[in-house]
Amino acid sequence: MLCLVFKMILHTFNQPGALERHQQHIQPEDAVLLLEDGVFDADILNTIDCSTRYALRRDLNARGLSETQDGATVIDDSDWVALVVRYDRVVSWA
């Protein structure tokens, strides 16, 4: 008997270009969080097939980017902590 276990992963990206380089590792049940300079990739979030997409508010603000990011839910640090708890694994990409 084959038993498949799906682990939901929170993928974090902290550098521009990292999301595009590593998008093949993202599964539909996963989530993506852009932080630090990774928020510059918010414009390609809609091309990623995953359940939810996030961008960290303080990093958007620090870089002069709009908090209204097409395809991303903008979150605070406390929301980030809640995401880490909710997902089975967190994978950081650079």
Within a domain: residue 2? no
Is the model more confident about 24 or about 6? 24
> Mind listing the pLDDT tens digit for each residue in 22-55?
999 999 999 999 999 999 998 888 889 888 999 9
With contact defined as beta carbons under 8 Å apart, do 31 and 50 qualify?
yes
Evaluate whether residue 1 is within a structural domain: no
**Residue 77 domain flag:** yes
At residue 6, the pLDDT reads: 60
Q: Which CATH number belongs to the domain containing residue 87 in this structure?
A: 3.40.1260.10
Is it the case that residue 5 has pLDDT exceeding 70?
no
**Secondary structure E strands in the chain:** 9-13, 31-34, 52-56, 73-75, 89-93
Quote the pLDDT of residue 7. 82
Q: What is the side-by-side order of every strand in the sheet holding 31-34?
A: 73-75, 52-56, 31-34, 9-13, 89-93
Residue-range definition of the domain harbouring residue 76 = 10-18+30-93
Round the average pLDDT of the chain to a whole number and report it: 90
